[in-house]
Structure 1
């Protein structure tokens, strides 16, 4: 068996155990981001404004921890393992934080929420950042990386669907929202323990060769060089812009369904399910296309498809549920590409960074990826919710002009941002051919020295 065939066989064996933790990590996503304000602000009687301020502080802290954990996971190892120790410890911390933050006692107040939110977010980051970096290190093949991210993000989408289905089943059976939250927490802890154990047991995690870890003494210089890497900045900017384009309609989704489309609660639930199911179903298509086209071009095609579909939203009359369901199918399928392809491209950028610097810094690179995601979520909410109010939409007394403003912010603004992102990424220079050149140069350098730099003035000069 050739080395390539042996690698392909190994990758097939580890794809499922590597992807399964993505299911568990995604299970509590919606409860944490959507249920916490009402749980503490209303049920606990702490007030929405005060709870919002506490959550803002916790999320700001969460954003700061990303690069710290990413950098530390790059240079720390136990035995031959770099990512597994962080994931193992972080999962325990996250599980304890999740259990406490979603199951408060009646007297628990703002200090309780702040403490356990920080514990949860810290543990979550300790799992998420090394987990993403681990996926980038499983293979150096341009197209196989799309397989890794597709399986992982598909499992994550199934986790979101599973949590929603579990919550709906409990509420429909007569249970309370609190009971549904506790069920999601219990499912997360149970399933997470099983799936994470399988990943830790069966998926390899080899530490970087000695001399390829960036010393802490060079961290400041290393960050400076990272932000002079134009491919890294270009992809990170595109990821942030596309996150805004996806986050704005997400923040206004339920508002638009109620006031712009006139959908009932049951119809809204079905539309959400269609969107996420289409995202899962679309991932195999995007993965198949990676055999024929560069990943960034496929991503651009998916963004263009979503933009064209979303441009139909202002044309929908009130009550056009079937028409909007068709839009959900197309935009949901495109969302699958948004999740699966950019992280695979980022893994290629990490190879380019290694060629420029001589260090393996996947953890640090994907830490900024996580920061971009969090900032896009915060920015989209900050644009969408105040924006529709500023333009004249009032849910207490909706007018024709107010509804027009709602539709414009919900559908037109995201399309404009997504089309800009598409144009920005179309000419991205690190496709399959150039990545192959990067890989060949890395292989040639590794035969001589793990720290040898390419010469200044070359195509991949560290001086550029």
Structure 2
């Protein structure tokens, strides 16, 4: 389990992240503003509908995680759920991204819920497997870094493809349809390669009693702290993601094509920044590296509240995308690697491979945070008089800037305070692995 995996296996594992990410960004960034401008809908209604769909999504995470933990391992504990989720996600993505002329509130709610269900059936077992591929403190980071690298590539597809198709075909609707077509082609291929080449470690189904499971969860102090940090960090990341297009178009006065350029710069910086951050923190414990990256991005992002509709602001925002984006990869990869280490606390205390439950609870916290962020931000914008399809007054624009730039920075600072003295460092992890080794002998 502490082996160092060859690049071909890591690529087969990480490659599944590419089509998932190509769908994830549009679901978060492009789709809500698109539906907010449709007849009969507005930012307030769309915010409430997405919030409701996300609440359903939140509930499914611990359920699917627990089910995968307790699934007999004849065909793998995680793989059957990935296979099940693939056609569900493909069907939902098509209807969600290619809506008819009469698509309304109920249509958005139903297909959003279906898309989130398909996504969770794939993504949760997929990331859980990443935690189980190795027990080594640093190899886990290598595995998650490959996955997050493919996620960044998929995000680039989600930026470039709809922008290019939308420009050629005349609008955002064509761009969203292109994403749906890409997913229909790429997801089955990525899943096939994953099932063929990505190893799933041998593990028996969990049989910990429910009462004992609850006791172990309650006793896991690193888990409790990390899940709160995930809840807060998810809100800090979700706010600017959900409000990005509104901010770029209404505050900076830029076009949707320029917004695509900003996103491309941001995610290319994430690719370039990942090895740099890993080199900086090569001798640090993971939580300190995570804190450093959050502090750096907060220092960059605070300048967004000073921007307006002028050339100077475009230049400053480009620099924010470069330097702030450089932290994205390490923020995602390091946090996921810490998740895997926290599961070891449970295993050493008497658990038996319940990574699915833990990843389900972390996913639940992250999605709940985003649902709350979106469900609050969109109605607040509507109450402030923000117009998604036209001009807005100074109060509405100030509200948008505060929700986009000021509030996420404040939340990030709170996460840093919470995680700075996190008890599960490199030395503690070595102690846990020795204890687990004695249990399994």
TM-score between the two structures when normalised by the length of structure 1? 0.85
| Separation (CA, whole Å) in 2 of partners of 1:346 and 1:264 | 39
Does the CA-based 8 Å contact 1:235-1:425 persist in structure 2? yes
Aligned to 1:340: 333
> Is the alpha carbon distance of 1:202 and 1:290 closer, same or farther for their aligned partners in structure 2, counting shifts above 3 Å?
farther
> Is the alpha carbon distance of 1:262 and 1:329 closer, same or farther for their aligned partners in structure 2, counting shifts above 3 Å?
same
Q: Please give the secondary structure, in 1, of the residue aligned with 2:98.
A: coil
The correspondence for 2:364, drawn from 367, 371, 380, is: 371
Aligned to 1:232: 223
Q: Any idea what the Cα deviations from partners look like across 1:392-451, whole Å, max 9, x if unmatched?
A: 87884523x66555444432322221112112111011111110110011101111xxxx
**Number of aligned residue pairs:** 436
Aligned to 1:196: 191
Alignment of 1:398-417 (within 5 A): 398-399=393-394, 403-417=397-411
My pick for the range that moved more, 96-105 or 437-446, is: 96-105
Aligned to 1:360: 353
> Is the alpha carbon distance of 1:193 and 1:409 closer, same or farther for their aligned partners in structure 2, counting shifts above 3 Å?
closer
The correspondence for 1:291, drawn from 279, 282, 285, is: 282
Aligned to 1:15: 10
Aligned to 1:441: 435
| Separation (CA, whole Å) in 2 of partners of 1:269 and 1:96 | 26
> Is the alpha carbon distance of 1:52 and 1:409 closer, same or farther for their aligned partners in structure 2, counting shifts above 3 Å?
closer
> Is the alpha carbon distance of 1:137 and 1:378 closer, same or farther for their aligned partners in structure 2, counting shifts above 3 Å?
same
The answer to whether 1:159 aligns with 2:171 is no
The answer to whether 1:241 aligns with 2:217 is no
Alignment of 1:422-461 (within 5 A): 422-447=416-441
Quick one: higher RCO (CA 8 Å, sep 6+), 1 or 2? 2
Does the CA-based 8 Å contact 1:391-1:405 persist in structure 2? yes
> Is the alpha carbon distance of 1:166 and 1:148 closer, same or farther for their aligned partners in structure 2, counting shifts above 3 Å?
same
The correspondence for 2:311, drawn from 319, 340, 359, is: 319
Shift of 1:42: 5.5
The correspondence for 2:245, drawn from 234, 247, 254, is: 254
The correspondence for 1:47, drawn from 29, 41, 63, is: 41
| Separation (CA, whole Å) in 1 of partners of 2:278 and 2:219 | 31
List gaps (5 residues or longer) in structure 2: none
Does the CA-based 8 Å contact 2:166-2:173 persist in structure 1? no
> Is the alpha carbon distance of 1:193 and 1:388 closer, same or farther for their aligned partners in structure 2, counting shifts above 3 Å?
closer
The correspondence for 1:102, drawn from 97, 102, 114, is: 97
User: Which of these two proteins has the greater Rg computed from alpha carbons?
Assistant: 1
My pick for the range that moved more, 267-276 or 282-291, is: 282-291
| Separation (CA, whole Å) in 2 of partners of 1:427 and 1:161 | 35
> Is the alpha carbon distance of 1:311 and 1:197 closer, same or farther for their aligned partners in structure 2, counting shifts above 3 Å?
same
Does the CA-based 8 Å contact 1:246-1:414 persist in structure 2? yes
The answer to whether 1:138 aligns with 2:133 is yes
RMSD across aligned positions (CA): 2.7
| Separation (CA, whole Å) in 2 of partners of 1:35 and 1:351 | 38
Aligned to 2:413: 419
> Is the alpha carbon distance of 1:11 and 1:366 closer, same or farther for their aligned partners in structure 2, counting shifts above 3 Å?
farther
Q: Please give the secondary structure, in 2, of the residue aligned with 1:227.
A: helix
